[in-house]
A and B are shown apart, each in its own frame.
Chain A
Amino acid sequence: MKTIILGFDSFDPAVFEDMAGQNQITNLSKFVDAKGYSRLEVCSPPQTEVSWTSIATGADPGGHGIFDFVHRDPSTYAPYVSILPMKKSALGEQFVPPYIAKTLFEEAAGMGYPATALWWPAMFPARPELPVNTLPGLGTPDIRGQLGVGTLFTTEDEKKNKTSVMHLESAGKGRYSALLNGPMTQSKSGPQPVTLPVALDVIDPNTARVTIGDNQLELRVGAWSEIVEVKFKAGMFFNVHAITRLILTSLNGVVRLYSLPLQIHPLHALSHYSSSKSFAKNLWDKVGHYLTLGWPQDTTGLEDGCISDEQFLNLCDTIFSRRKQIFFYLLDNFKEGVLGSIFDDLDRVQHMFYHDRLDVAQAWYKKLDAFVGEVGQRVNGWSGKYNYLIMSDHGFTTYQYKIQLNRWLAENGYLALNDGITSGDLSNIDWRQTRAYAVGLNGLYLNIAGREGQGVVGAEEIELLLAEIQGKLMKWKGPDGKSVIWRGRLKHEIYNGAYTRLGPDLVVGYASGYRASSETGLGKIPQALIETNNNHWGADHCVDKDIVPGVIFANRDLQNFGGISFRDIPFLAIGKHLDQSHIKPPSQISGHGQKDLEERLKGLGYL
């Protein structure tokens, strides 16, 4: 077996087909000409971590247990990030793998082949017990165990929405100093960040010398530094190592220096960052240093105005470039097995530019196409059979309106807030008067007696109540007069597997242009029902799966498949189905006609 998988996060079929029709995409178009292209049915909901996990396992969320970016603890209703679960142990709180369902990589390794998964979501922490080489993708935290925000050092009195702001104190003419907050430690006065001194000396109007820990860097305005390794002394014999990159964004009157979120140092990780350790070290030493955060393309820094569009795009470019180098290093040494790699810059670029600068997104389609050309030059020389798959986890669409689903539930009598409260979060809900609530970007749960901590909905009411909510949601119109919801899907209709019972009772599939607000994701209940989205983040994919299909390209004929879905990927990659639920024998599908068919065949003498 020899299989390479390129995962292009958010590669949209409509954009591709349009550009291919105008001859702007040449390498991927060759797959189309050879019948090796198809739109890909993606899982519900089409969220990155859910979809790539479904692709890797061939199972829907009922089979692997990741249903949404945010899950809830039914006993307390507390929301938590599904891809970063923690477990308390004697050693304190530790990250645990978000799922244990078998992936195609694990299956290939079990068959005796080398298997490598690069930047695949939900693969942090690594599972060293498995013989699969991994560098994890989405879900890899920063050194504080969070999904990561950067730090802005500024001489101004500024406030940012999410970014941490540290004031640059004047330390003489053209000299400034500040502190960089690192990991949190316990002190007598409670949790405190360990800090590193930061010094900035202006050299000329475009250049400054920045000293951070043991590092001294000369930075030019607007140019990203290389990866910087820093060390925080978190105890007498205990250091926390981190990596980051810095950018000087202003020296003209106002001095601004921005640091990416502090990321796990792959050679000094406190959790299992990669599998194996030597795999990460080899790439770090042989290819070059690489960022480790699950979402290293700093959309938050861009949204908060800490970096410009151009600086954000430059960052994406450098991340893509290093990842390509790593991939090619492995590809050049690839003899057999499975080598899978996700490239997710396009997703981040589309979130920020798809809606108002489509040309920027299209430039990334061309970059990925050129990359496919480079890969093609290498693999075309291979002798013998091999599988070459390129796919995306979903497409993309606009995000014009933010939906507050809990407000809709309240206005329709399904959710009640405590007396005197008009807005808030899950802690403000009167659970005895609440029959349904929303947590996650596509999840709606009933408040079921015996399942939820203060459940009130009896087993006999579930079916009717869900049908009622589903029906009302489908009639909901937005400010543009169009339907807000494309489709509501009941979990027992769309999921198979042991984890189905843990999923949302109704998966809410928004129509194009609509998406749950981030407040809804966390279970909040703001005042407004629908808000216009004026954010830089103006496009998304957390809608109904039918609106954002993915793509698949393969060096084989895909036309005979009669519709390819995520469930088929393990078979296409390693020749094995990991989940057989979608391939019942024909006799079990045909239904009532089976008897007539048999009669006819007997009559003709063929049975």
Chain B
Amino acid sequence: MSFLNKFISRGQKENKQPIYIVSGLPRSGTSMMMKMLSSGGLPVVMDSIRQADEDNPNGYFEIELSKKLKDGEVKWVYEASGKAVKVISYLLEYLPKDMNYYVVFMEREIKEILASQHKMLERRNEKSLISDEEMTAQYNDHLRSVKYWLPRQPNIRVLYVSYNSMMNQPEELCVSIVNFLELPLDVKAMREVPNPSLYRNRS
């Protein structure tokens, strides 16, 4: 039994290239991180359905199919091996369990996230039906449960990156990200991406 298991169990997952996920709450700097990875030389999985706009002048770096993860639309994920994909934190739990993921999880002050989201909602002619206080509590609750769940997934490695710190000390964080991903990315090119002029919603 042991002999067979050795080859059945040990070989699993080891030959598949991981998928590099950029995650976090919407407006926490996920698009910026996607652009950084792309500039650093990592291929990204995206479509052009949502175009760059005033909220994300550099583009969204999204794939529309990621919004259907919860509905079981996962086939595209298997083709993302070795590439970067943006998946918001809410959808992480729906990623297929039989792939390995390196997650760069963007963090940003909730106040700033909400301010940015309000502007985006306005531009989309959407109304916020919930108070900031309640939304803050729910985001914190959501982040707490995601952060408990993430490090306990055998197929996921995670690095938390502060958007706010990225604006102040990109050099150091870029090196940490490259070390975490274990990829030969162009740190200099990555470092050029964070643009303080786009850091518009400060707490």
Measured as residues with beta carbon below 8 angstroms from the partner, the interface class of chain B is 35 or more
Of A587, A603, A605, the contact of B128 (CB 8 Å cutoff): A603
Q: Is the CB of A593 within 8 A of B121?
A: no
* A227-240 to B contact mask, C-beta < 8 Å, 1/0: 00000000000000
Q: Is the CB of A586 within 8 A of B154?
A: no
B26 within 8 A of A: yes
Task: List which A290-307 residues lie within 8 A (CB) of chain B.
Answer: none
Residues of B within 8 A of A131 (CB): 1-2
Question: Chain A: which residue is nearest B140 at the CB level?
Answer: A593
Instruction: Write the nearest CB–CB distance from B46 to chain A, whole angstroms.
Output: 14
Contact flag A587-B151 (CB < 8 Å), given A109-B2, A596-B134:
no
A376 within 8 A of B: no
Q: Is the interface of B mostly helix, strand, loop or mixed?
A: helix
Q: Is the CB of B10 within 8 A of A112?
A: yes
Instruction: Write the nearest CB–CB distance from A540 to chain B, whole angstroms.
Output: 32
Q: Is the CB of A590 within 8 A of B141?
A: yes
Task: List which A510-569 residues lie within 8 A (CB) of chain B.
Answer: 560-563, 568
Question: Chain A: which residue is nearest B50 at the CB level?
Answer: A605
* A586-607 to B contact mask, C-beta < 8 Å, 1/0: 1101110100111111011111
Q: Is the CB of A562 within 8 A of B158?
A: no
Q: How many residues of A contact B (CB 8 A)?
A: 36
Tell me how many residue pairs across A and B have CB atoms closer than 8 Å: 110
Contact flag A597-B138 (CB < 8 Å), given A131-B2, A576-B154:
yes
Of A110, A571, A590, the contact of B154 (CB 8 Å cutoff): A571
Stretch with Cβ within 8 A of A (4 or more), from B142-150, B167-175, B186-194: B142-150
Q: Is the CB of B152 within 8 A of A577?
A: yes
Q: Is the CB of B5 within 8 A of A111?
A: yes
Residues of A within 8 A of B92 (CB): 586
Q: Is the CB of A601 within 8 A of B90?
A: yes
Question: Chain A: which residue is nearest B67 at the CB level?
Answer: A607
A458 within 8 A of B: no
Q: Is the CB of B151 within 8 A of A560?
A: yes
Most chain B CB within a 10 A radius of its CB, from A560, A577, A604: A604
Of A571, A593, A601, the contact of B88 (CB 8 Å cutoff): A601
B126 within 8 A of A: yes
Q: Is the CB of B142 within 8 A of A603?
A: no
Instruction: Write the nearest CB–CB distance from A357 to chain B, whole angstroms.
Output: 40
Complex Cα distance A600/B110, Å?
14
Residues of B within 8 A of A110 (CB): 1, 5, 9
Residues of A within 8 A of B164 (CB): none
Q: Is the CB of A111 within 8 A of B9?
A: yes
Complex Cα distance A506/B127, Å?
50
Binding site for A on B (CB under 8 A): 1-10, 26-27, 50, 67, 70, 88, 90, 92-93, 117, 120-121, 124, 126-130, 134-135, 137-139, 141-142, 144-152, 154, 158, 160
What 3 A-B pairs are tightest by C-beta distance, nearest first?
A112-B6, A593-B138, A112-B5
6 sample A-B contacts, Cβ–Cβ < 8 Å, listed by A number: A111-B5, A112-B2, A561-B152, A562-B147, A586-B145, A596-B138
Contacts A593-B134, A606-B67 supplied; 6 other A-B pairs, CB < 8 Å: A560-B150, A560-B151, A583-B148, A593-B137, A597-B90, A604-B27
